[in-house]
Amino acid sequence: MLCACGSGGNDESFGLTEREFVTGPLLSFQSPMLLANAGDGTGRVFVVERAGTVQVFDGDAGVTASEVFLDIRSRVMTGGERGLFSIAFHPSYASNGLFYVHYSAPTSTPGRDQRSVVGRYRV
């Protein structure tokens, strides 16, 4: 698994570099949408999957496994361009545990089959 990170590096037009996080068949992601860091100093890396899960693993150590950080598959509507899209961490996440996710959800409104949700969660 590769991540385009930071500035200065391989692509001068964008200032991106590649960093390999995982080698071999250690982790398996289903439709990964986003790779994120909480900015809490732990070095953990979060992978958002379209179906409604967020996997987390230690991005600084030798990666051997991931664990489920969030599972909202029962709330997420998938198919086509629907699903869980992103995660964002509060600037004070390390002390308050707040984070936000953006996803598609079903609706009961006539003529509309989905709605866009930004949900707030606390660890």
Question: What is the H or E stretch that residue 117 is in?
Answer: strand 114-122
Residue 3 domain-assigned? no
Least Cα distance to 103 among 81, 93, 123, 111 occurs for 81
Report pLDDT for 6: 47
Residue 7 domain-assigned? no
Residue 28 domain-assigned? yes
Beta-sheet strand order (sheet of 32-37): 32-37, 44-49, 53-58, 67-71
Residue 1 domain-assigned? no
* Average pLDDT per 10 consecutive residues for the chain, totaling 123 residues: 45 65 64 92 91 86 74 94 96 97 90 90 95
Report pLDDT for 42: 87
How many residues in the chain? 123
Residue 5 domain-assigned? no
Q: Domain of residue 42: give its range.
A: 21-122
Domain count across the chain: 1
Report pLDDT for 1: 44
pTM (predicted TM-score)? 0.78
Report pLDDT for 3: 46
Residue 66 domain-assigned? yes
Residue 36 domain-assigned? yes
Residue 11 domain-assigned? no
Report pLDDT for 112: 82
Report pLDDT for 117: 96
Report pLDDT for 12: 57
